[in-house]
């Protein structure tokens, strides 16, 4: 299930991110990659525990909390502290699958990566290449979104970032452990919630709303993990 979530960050927040990036020191992106991913990863990354990464990560987390579409699509239980990367000409990230479990640095916590997320921070016309390509049973999906927009997809998906040939691609990336582990159940709940919201707009006094909302919450109660 790929879901495009527009306007997670405002234009002002995107500008703030870029200004912070301009003053930051970057390191080899392989510092947070697994063994196999490190062999195909060629990019730069803000140091995970740097003040800049922590400050911008809090900004992104706050924006996610205010996004009803993100909450509906992901049903987050825990969000990995957002990381930030930079692709310059010649850089790319070959085909890989994200690690299933990630420890949260500096804490005893571990996170199961149910959902992967990329938040685009460069205007798409400012760079060539750098598309995120996600592969699933329906084929390959190439994604290059406006700055401030987010794409989420199953972390089990094979995916890659094509080589940047002009300009600079800036993004935030992170993972989410969902209350609903199974992607098919998560997709059903998302479709049901979307239908309830649409019916609320179109027929706000429909008695079916109470029944459908009850079905949604009873399924959530049955499937959600504590």
Query: Is the same domain home to 90 and 193?
Result: no
Query: Is the same domain home to 91 and 111?
Result: yes
User: Which residues have a Cβ under 8 Å from the Cβ of 95 and sit 6 or more positions away?
Assistant: 40, 135, 158, 159, 160
Query: Is the same domain home to 75 and 174?
Result: yes
Parent domain of 79: 3-178
Query: Is the same domain home to 174 and 212?
Result: no
Number of H helices, E strands in the chain: 6, 17
Query: Is the same domain home to 205 and 174?
Result: no
pTM across the whole model: 0.94
Q: Where residue 199 sits, what CATH number does that domain have?
A: 4.10.860
226 pLDDT more than 80 = no
Question: Using one digit for the tens of pLDDT, what is the confidence trace for 171-224?
Answer: 999 999 999 999 999 999 999 999 999 999 999 989 999 999 999 999 999 999
Query: Is the same domain home to 165 and 217?
Result: no
CA-based nearest residue to 200, from 77, 68, 78: 68
Q: Where residue 21 sits, what CATH number does that domain have?
A: 2.60.120.620
């Amino acid at each position: 299930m790929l879901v495009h979530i527009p306007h997670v960050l405002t234009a002002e927040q995107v500008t703030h991110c870029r200004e912070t990036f301009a003053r930051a020191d970057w390191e080899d992106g392989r510092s947070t990659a697994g063994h196999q991913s490190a062999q195909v990863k060629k990019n730069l990354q803000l140091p995970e525990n740097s003040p800049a990464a922590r400050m911008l990560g809090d900004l992104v987390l706050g924006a996610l909390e205010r996004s009803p579409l993100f909450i509906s699509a992901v049903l987050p239980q825990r969000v990995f502290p957002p990381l930030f990367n930079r692709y310059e000409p010649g850089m790319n990230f070959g085909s890989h699958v994200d690690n299933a479990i990630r420890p949260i640095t500096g804490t005893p916590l571990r996170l199961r990566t149910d959902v992967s997320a990329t938040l685009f921070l460069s205007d798409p016309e400012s760079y060539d290449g750098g598309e995120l390509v996600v592969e699933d049973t329906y084929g390959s999906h190439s994604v290059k979104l406006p700055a401030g927009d987010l794409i989420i997809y199953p972390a089990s998906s094979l995916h890659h970032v094509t080589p940047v040939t002009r300009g600079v691609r800036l993004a935030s990336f992170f993972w989410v452990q969902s209350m609903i582990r199974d992607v098919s159940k998560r997709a059903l709940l998302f479709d049901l919630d979307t239908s309830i919201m649409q019916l609320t707009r179109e027929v706000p006094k429909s008695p079916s709303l109470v029944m459908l909302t009850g079905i949604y919450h009873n399924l959530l109660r049955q499937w959600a993990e504590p």
